Structure 1
Amino acid sequence: MPVHTRHPLALGVLCAQGAGLLWGLVFVAPLRFADVAPASLALGRYLAFGLVALLLAGTDRRRLQALGRADWRRAVALTLVGNFIYYGCLAAALQQAGGPLPTLIIGTLPVVIAVCANLSSPDLPWRRLVPPLLAIGCGLLLVHAQEAGDTASPQFSLGVLLAVAAVACWTWYPLANAAWLRRHPHLSPTTWATAQGLVTLPLAVIGFAGLLLVQPTPRIWGSDPAAYIAGMAVLGLGASWAGTLLWNRASQLLPPSLTGQLIVFETLAALGYLYAFAGRGPTVFEKAGIVLLLCGVLLGVRAVSGKQRH
């Protein structure tokens, strides 16, 4: 018997972990390319995503042709909100306020999504959901409180607003995406990831063409155009296409209240990458916070596993 039919919970958690590891890369790019406009980072990433999807579409042509108009409209909506608007806000927030503050705010996504998911479609008693959420929330505060408290710049308020907007976008995206996949169980995660990439391509081309008309050239490519192109290719293939594929699979295998919590893997990956980028390790408080984050995930998995046994 295939592994995914025997152990859907374990496979779903592994898929969510893989998506988090890939998505964590997006937090480093705005700092690595600090001289590149946030819109250029978002459009470059999703232009690469669209090109990857176009190359892969030939191998999945039959299932893509089977998608209806409603599927394509939903793919466009998910792409606009979950891709362009979300990453544009995140990249701008990172550049305006540095790494710690936006990561703190984005890091609340596991709690926000899990609460919203359970409010809209209850699948777990709150007594089971509250302990992992408290552990994750306390862990996030410990991880970021020290650095976030030291953050001060003229762009502070703007960074806060942009990060909050990014949270709103990515609270809606996974819930809407998971709901669509549950209502259409025949959809392959690979096909759905490729479909979102295909609708991304024309939107990215139009957006990039407009950017070339209004944005100074140095802000589009930065000081190292070759590095910019390579970075966008990595984000397009890894963080966008492969990350979306893995998350789609996790959304099919896990209840929404758990998948919301598992976005914590993105926060953990982003922290690891940011530590490496800054050339330092976590402080004692940050280590304690990371332990609490992991404990929260384990508690969430246990809550779902206990429900399934009953």
Structure 2
Amino acid sequence: MGILCGAGAGALWGLVFLAPELVRSFAPLQLSVGRYLAYGIIATVLIAPRWKKVFSGVRLQDWKALFWLSIFGNTLYYVLVAAAVHAGGIALTSLVLGFMPVAVTIIGSRDKNAVALKSLLPSLMLCAAGAVCIGWQALTMPATSGRPMMGLVYALAALICWTTYAVWNSRCLMRLQHISVHDWNLLTGLVTGGQAMVLLPVAFLAYSGSHSLPEWGRFAAVSAGVAVIASLCGNALWNRMSRLLPLTMTGQMILFETLFGLTYGLLWEQRAPRVLEVSAFVLVIGSVLSCVAVHRRYSARETLPVMDLAA
């Protein structure tokens, strides 16, 4: 069930990489504000009937965690993703973000009763090899395709932000068992929407340029669509998965966003994958499969003594 939830979240999140291409005339900060303002409005409507009940279980330290999680996982992260897509393209951005499993798995291996890091080394080495493929492609990509090196820098910054979010959010969900994953998602939406309100004047006054009425209509539709599909539904599946899987496997589930993001990107660009993209794709898949295999063996060893005693 945890893996299915992770796959579902990845399929929905992968659509995020298409949004900057659909409204290229808008700046990354404007895309972020539009998406999360819609997310906040939807979350407010859904949580309003149970306002007192939900808020009674949230302490001050939980609100602080939600504030920083919203920045690292939503507001700042999406600005960096949109900037990376504008500069380096969908495929480059989605593949770079696919290497979150390395960082998250290393951090998760320090948890109590976690799979030993040395057992996960083959998985991490495969993922690192894929990262080399992407970095080399960014260096050799023709200049006519945009600013690949800047795209790589933005994508790496987004990688750091979301790694922080993935680890912190997973640990918060494990600690706050009295708050449902649905309510945690809505609370995140409330805080993120508040941040979007603060950034609204900056986003639409600091950037010059006029847009036609149809462009504004497309911007509103894309913002609302991404808010519902990725933020509301995708986050709900991810939060559910975070309570079902250990952190060392949670990181590996981020791969599904990469796979779907790359697939959508190639369909949008109407081209076949390049050799280095295929190599990275295969290496990352091998990384996740080997990680799952290690966890299955570890789980079998942990449950075997219990079965013997029962017999």
Whether the TM-score (by the shorter chain) exceeds 0.5 is yes
The separation in 1 between residues aligned to 2:273 and 2:141, in whole angstroms, is 16
Structure 2 residue aligned with 1:19: 9
Displacement of 1:290 in angstroms is 3.1
Question: Which residue type is aligned with residue 202 of structure 1?
Answer: G
- Judge which range, 90-99 or 248-257, deviates more: 90-99
Displacement of 1:257 in angstroms is 1.0
Structure 1 residue aligned with 2:74: 83
Question: Which residue type is aligned with residue 74 of structure 2?
Answer: N
The separation in 2 between residues aligned to 1:95 and 1:222, in whole angstroms, is 22
What TM-score do you get using the length of structure 2 for normalisation?
A: 0.86
RMSD: 2.5
Displacement of 1:151 in angstroms is 4.5
Structure 2 residue aligned with 1:235: 226
Does structure 2 retain, via aligned residues, the 8 Å contact 1:43–1:84? yes
Q: 1:74 aligns with which of 61, 65, 85?
A: 65
- Judge which range, 68-77 or 231-240, deviates more: 68-77
Q: Does 1:279 align with 2:274?
A: no
Displacement of 1:307 in angstroms is 1.6
Q: CA distance change for structure 1 residues 194 and 138 in 2, over 3 Å: closer, same or farther? A: same
Q: 1:65 aligns with which of 46, 56, 81?
A: 56
Displacement of 1:111 in angstroms is 1.5
The separation in 2 between residues aligned to 1:209 and 1:114, in whole angstroms, is 39
Q: 2:170 aligns with which of 178, 181, 195?
A: 178
Displacement of 1:137 in angstroms is 3.5
The separation in 1 between residues aligned to 2:210 and 2:110, in whole angstroms, is 46
Structure 1 residue aligned with 2:309: none
- Judge which range, 228-237 or 181-190, deviates more: 181-190
Q: 1:302 aligns with which of 284, 293, 306?
A: 293
Q: Does 1:262 align with 2:253?
A: yes
Question: Which residue type is aligned with residue 65 of structure 2?
Answer: R
The separation in 1 between residues aligned to 2:54 and 2:28, in whole angstroms, is 34
Does structure 2 retain, via aligned residues, the 8 Å contact 1:25–1:273? yes
1:207-230 CA-to-partner distances (Å, cap 9, x unmatched) read 1133233222537x8971111111
Question: Which residue type is aligned with residue 161 of structure 2?
Answer: C
Does structure 2 retain, via aligned residues, the 8 Å contact 1:24–1:273? yes
Does structure 2 retain, via aligned residues, the 8 Å contact 1:105–1:167? yes
1:134-187 CA-to-partner distances (Å, cap 9, x unmatched) read 333434555785576314378444333322221111110010111111122222
Question: Which residue type is aligned with residue 297 of structure 2?
Answer: G
The separation in 1 between residues aligned to 2:177 and 2:32, in whole angstroms, is 30
Question: Which residue type is aligned with residue 266 of structure 2?
Answer: Y
Displacement of 1:88 in angstroms is 0.7
Q: How does 1:1-310 map to 2 (within 5 A)?
A: 11-58=1-48, 60-61=50-51, 62-119=53-110, 123-139=114-130, 141=132, 146=137, 149-152=140-143, 155-218=147-210, 224-283=215-274, 286-310=277-301
Q: Which residues of structure 2 form unaligned runs of 5+?
A: 302-311
- Judge which range, 44-53 or 200-209, deviates more: 200-209
Tell me how many residue pairs correspond in the alignment: 299
Does structure 2 retain, via aligned residues, the 8 Å contact 1:101–1:148? no
Q: Which residues of structure 1 form unaligned runs of 5+?
A: 1-10
Bigger-Rg structure (1/2): 2
- Judge which range, 239-248 or 289-298, deviates more: 289-298
Q: CA distance change for structure 1 residues 167 and 151 in 2, over 3 Å: closer, same or farther? A: farther
What TM-score do you get using the length of structure 1 for normalisation?
A: 0.87
Identity over the aligned pairs, expressed in percent?
A: 33
Question: Which residue type is aligned with residue 266 of structure 1?
Answer: E
SS in 2 for 1:28: helix
